[in-house]
Chains A and B, each alone.
Chain A
Amino acid sequence: MTSFRIEGGTLIDRSDVRRFTFNGEALSGIGGDTVASALLANGKQLVGRSFKYHRPRGILTAGAAEPNALLTIGRDGRRDPNTRATMAELYDGLEARSQNCWPNVSFDIGAANGLLGPLLGAGFYYKTFMWPAAFWEKVYEPLIRKAAGLGRASYDPDPGYYEKCWAHCDLLVIGAGPTGLAAALTAGRAGARVIIADEGAQPGGGFLAEGSPVGGKPADTVLADIIGELHALPNVEIRKRTTVFAAYDDQVFGAVERVQKHLPENEINPHRAMERLWRIVARQVVLATGAEERPIVFGGNDRPGVMMAGAMRTYLNAYGVAPGKRVALFANNSQAYQTAVDLEARGIEVAAIIDPRTCPNINYAGKARLIAGAMVRDTAGRRAIKSITVRHDDGSDEVIAVDALGVSGGYSPIVHLACHRGGKPVWSDAHIGFMPPEKTDGMTPCGAVAGKAGIAACFAAGGVAAVKALAELGVMGEAASLPGVEQTAETVDHIQPVWRVASSKGKAFVDFQNDVAASDITLAMREGYDHVELAKRYTTNGMATDQGKTSNVNAIGILAENKRVSPGEIGTTTFRPFYTPVCFGALVGASKGMDFQPVRKSPLHGWAERHGAKFVETGLWYRSSWFPKDGETFWRDSVDREVNTVRTKVGICDVSTLGKIEVFGTDAAEFLNRVYCNAFLKLPVGKARYGIMLREDGFVYDDGTTSCLGENHYFMTTTTALAAGVLTHLEFCAQVLWPELDVRLASATDQWAQMAVAGPRSREVLSKIIDDDISNEAFPFLAAREVSMFGGRLKGRLFRISFSGELAYEIAVPAGYGESVADAVMIAGEEFGIAPYGTEALGVMRIEKGHVTHAEINGTVTPADLGMGRMVSAKKDDFIGRVMNLREGLVDPSRPSLVGIKPKSPSDKFATGSHILNPGDDVSLANDQGYVTSMCHSPTLGHPVGLALVKNGPKRHGEEVVIWNGLAGTTVTGILCDPAFVDPENEKLHA
């Protein structure tokens, strides 16, 4: 193995040797290396296989645009697929693997696809997998899925921690090359709050790849001085390894900072984020994202060893890596000649410079043979380039032996962030590239992204842009300048566009990552897909993870050339976030596992836990669902016992999760009267009332009790599920519909611990802890008021309301007292055989009593459907839902309405969701009579009971029906009945 490491390298520290493996082979690199530079230093040019044809591919770029060198890096939960080797920093112990090849990268069976090339052209998915239709599911789809995608995600959870945060600044500088650094320096010196973000491991951009002195000093020394000054400014924040990936409305920018992804596992601080997702609010932005060098489309341009000319320069100057021993360049512009200069300065032979221009106006005095008016039409070499074939202007061919080829087809400004908000880039014939949109409010594109070239010109532009941005903020600034650098008049480089080499032999690739060749684009045009958006989708050009950074403009150029129009007329596809791929980990942030959503615990959670509660998640809440006792092995053992205890003795249940809303104001009564469909205007102080809220479309929204606790003070309860929704609805009514009413609303759900004490002995239990007289006379059904407890030591709110149908109370105390009061109730109830009961027993008892919940209030029912039609006030002028509730379809007497249902044979079971049919009818929608909404085993009656919505239900009590369970394929004979299975006369309630 030959080493390609040579002297120099501004980014590397040779004393820091780092070991890593590539496809299992042990290799070594140097601190500061990327995986790509380390692989190149080890002579590894072949790093992966292409997506469609499995062709050998090498490293093309030295940055974010890399289409080929996608590796899977890391192991177990820390494994990241599709990582660009050109961006991944080398750490000690790193494991990297090639993707899309089997059994290995050098010998890949899928390469046989290359022979099928003619079948896999543009639109092949649409053409090849058309028929027979039955083949889709069994043959084509599995085949496509197996071939699709590149790396594979890990099945292990990522042990790393991720976070999200906001940042605010006066000036955000995107890109820390010469342009961005000048802007940051200018604004920093003027005292503005500056954030400068760069995707690289180190700030510097073009400085890092510069081989020539800047103002008489080495480029890295100049850079170090600038960074030093920026670090010393307290108002400037330098964010390296930070990619600004999106420009959103209102000057909000998305960025991801790779905080610890470059560290070996033993150096990772578990309390620090692996990656950090930033949202940056910037008053002004300087866009200094630079320009992307374009490949040229010619035969065999994807062979390992073919590399961007600028990337060669970066590997040479920043990493001390030679791209080869004998290099050729193929370039249509003068900037690329600098690569030849730098290569020769390091003693690397430049065999030839092939320039398509007939008389290149260049200032090159090196040793390389200059071949003007020529093109590279082919390359050769099995796994890496061995030679190139040059087509001279006289039509003759010449083969030149090389082991690396640098290519430069011009420069595409990186305009993405200037276009995310909808702006379209503008074609420039002078620059042969798409420039940022003319109107970019709050953002100043400058430097290479605005068509400048070279450190001096870019630095100057950055300073000027910052002065302009500062002026928008009312701050005076003076453009920073580079010491010793004289501004020279701008020289115009006559780039000659070469979209593709017409004489290409073999496949000439446009999009390397998706294997789109020039012939595919021509084919797409022939078949009518010549619009840029259609051509993109038909050929998949620009649709890979690199989003066509190196291919889109060439594809547009080829389209334009074929149609004989300007690329500006073809236009670009739409730029959308993200600029480069962002890990799911960063987007998820801390919201995973138990932190996925908040956990709400009732103030009585600890009490319930002490009594052995089994909890159930309902929304964010953890509610106690039953309390198993020793010997109870099945949930229904506990639930049946709890129900029997409440029905015969007394039980206590946590109902703190119900929504609680305090309603105040001189118009509070009027307000309630308008939001409930039943009357509330005359609810006296000290009384509770059951209320039904409609939606404006006339259907039931929610139900609950509201108590009048004092003049102009009401206390509303809602169902647990709609606590937030009801408050939002009431706020809309109060603020938007009737702002003239004096009413104030406050959520009190979390402020009160509330427990139901239910059962024939409940009054005796509560009398022991409540000071007030709570006899039936003094505190009748629906009484509600503040009471004194424990000899005046605590005040609570007592409500005589019942969901179970038993004599029952709900007692509310300030949340902090909840557990103590629940304990006191348990002690007071011991002599009566009290037991805690959960939501399961609560549910059983409400079904036995025929009380509805959201199982019945399912958005399609009216009060009349629930047997409460008489509650809807006919006297009130107005309330929410009044008019629409009277619509024809909603008053139809045959609508499915609430009814009880039980099996004819007590031993038969049926399921919720089953449909009701008349005996003898076929199963059909036309014969459907309704469906079971709730069902449980009734320990009180000893058989299953249920509630159902059935056509004409209330008139059909006693009727025999068929309960059809379509999922289980079973039928049971049932009998419709009164929904109140227990105490239909409400004697227990009023006891």
Chain B
Amino acid sequence: MSSLVKCPHCGLRPREEFTIRGEVAAPRPSAGADEATWFDHVYLRDNPRGEHREYWHHAGGCRRWLVLSRNTLTHETSDVVDASTLKTEGAR
């Protein structure tokens, strides 16, 4: 796993400044969505060998939530973005 994380706001920072929430799961369903959709959102997580997107929180820095894309096999981190961009991009 990465030892250094390129925070889009703070630059290259040590991993210890971050906390990891886990996989970027299915987006939060609408209030009217059926129970199965909600169950998937709350409980269903993948554990892939390869590309993986996770929520990382820069808790010891800017306190922004980030989405980090990394390869669980090669440990390569391909992308780090502010998590707020996920929804704005998705809405487009």
Contacts and interface: CB of A to CB of B under 8 A. Distances in A.
Chain A complexes with chain B: yes
Nearest to A880: B28
A697 B77 CA distance: 31
A279 B59 CA distance: 21
B21 interface: yes
B75 A421 contact: yes
Contacts of B4: 249-252, 281
Interface stretch (A732-740, A756-764, A816-824): A732-740
Contacts of A250: 2-4, 77
A354 B86 CA distance: 71
B57 A728 contact: yes
Given A249-B2, A883-B38, A732 B65 contact: yes
B47 interface: no
Contacts of A281: 4
B42 A731 contact: no
Given A736-B87, A740-B87, A883-B33, A249 B57 contact: no
B31 interface: yes
B38 A728 contact: no
A887 B35 contact: yes
Contact of B31 (A728, A731, A878, A887): A878
A697 B42 CA distance: 7
Interface string B49-70: 0000001010100011100000
A698 B87 CA distance: 23
B7 to A, nearest CB: 13
A883 B41 CA distance: 12
Interface string A859-884: 00000000000000000011000111
B44 interface: no
Interface string A736-753: 111110000000000000
B83 A249 contact: no
Contact of B1 (A249, A251, A740, A887): A249
A219 B63 CA distance: 56
Interface in A42-94: none
A250 B1 CA distance: 9
A490 B23 CA distance: 54
B84 interface: yes
Nearest to A882: B31
Interface residues of A, number: 27
B19 interface: yes
B19 A728 contact: yes
A883 B35 contact: yes
Interface in B1-27: 1-4, 14, 19, 21
Interface residues of B, number: 32
A696 interface: yes
B19 A735 contact: no
Interface string A393-421: 00000000000000000000000000001
A735 B31 contact: no
A166 B35 CA distance: 49
A736 B84 contact: yes
Nearest to B33: A883
A161 interface: no
Contacts of A696: 28, 41-42
Nearest to B41: A696
Contacts of B29: 883
B83 A728 contact: no
A638 B73 CA distance: 60
A248 interface: yes
B83 A736 contact: yes
Contacts of A884: 38, 42
A222 to B, nearest CB: 37
Given A248-B3, A252-B3, A281-B4, A736 B35 contact: no
B4 to A, nearest CB: 4
Given A249-B2, A252-B3, A732-B21, A737 B38 contact: no
Nearest to A247: B3
Contact of A737 (B14, B28, B74): B28
A736 B42 contact: no
A739 B66 CA distance: 13
Nearest to B75: A249
Contacts of B65: 731-732, 735-736
Nearest to A739: B84
Contacts of A248: 3
Nearest to B5: A250
Contacts of A166: 14
Contacts of B43: 697
Nearest to A746: B63
A766 to B, nearest CB: 36
Nearest to B91: A740
Contacts of A737: 28, 87
Nearest to B64: A735
Interface in A248-289: 248-252, 279, 281
A935 B5 CA distance: 47
Nearest to A421: B75
Question: Which residue among A252, A736, A739 has the maximum number of chain B CB atoms within 10 Å of its CB?
Answer: A736
Contact of B3 (A249, A728, A731, A732): A249
A735 B33 contact: no
A739 B87 contact: yes
Contacts of B38: 883-884
A110 B27 CA distance: 65
Nearest to A281: B4
Contact of A735 (B3, B14, B30, B83): B83
B87 to A, nearest CB: 5
Question: Which residue among B19, B21, B42, B86 has the maximum number of chain A CB atoms within 10 Å of its CB?
Answer: B42
B55 A736 contact: yes
A57 to B, nearest CB: 39
Nearest to A737: B28
Contacts of A738: 87
Given A250-B3, A883-B38, A877 B31 contact: yes
Contacts of A249: 1-4, 75
Contacts of B14: 166, 279
A392 to B, nearest CB: 54
A737 B91 CA distance: 12
A847 B88 CA distance: 47
Contacts of B75: 249, 421-422
Contacts of A279: 14
Nearest to A696: B42
A882 B35 CA distance: 11
A251 B75 CA distance: 12
A166 to B, nearest CB: 8
Given A735-B64, A884-B38, 6 more contacts: A731-B64, A736-B55, A736-B86, A737-B28, A739-B87, A887-B35
The 10 closest A-B pairs by CB, nearest first: A739-B84, A878-B31, A252-B3, A250-B4, A250-B3, A736-B83, A248-B3, A735-B65, A249-B3, A883-B38
18 contacts: A249-B1, A249-B3, A249-B4, A249-B75, A250-B2, A250-B77, A251-B4, A421-B75, A696-B41, A731-B63, A735-B82, A736-B55, A736-B83, A736-B86, A739-B87, A740-B87, A878-B31, A882-B31
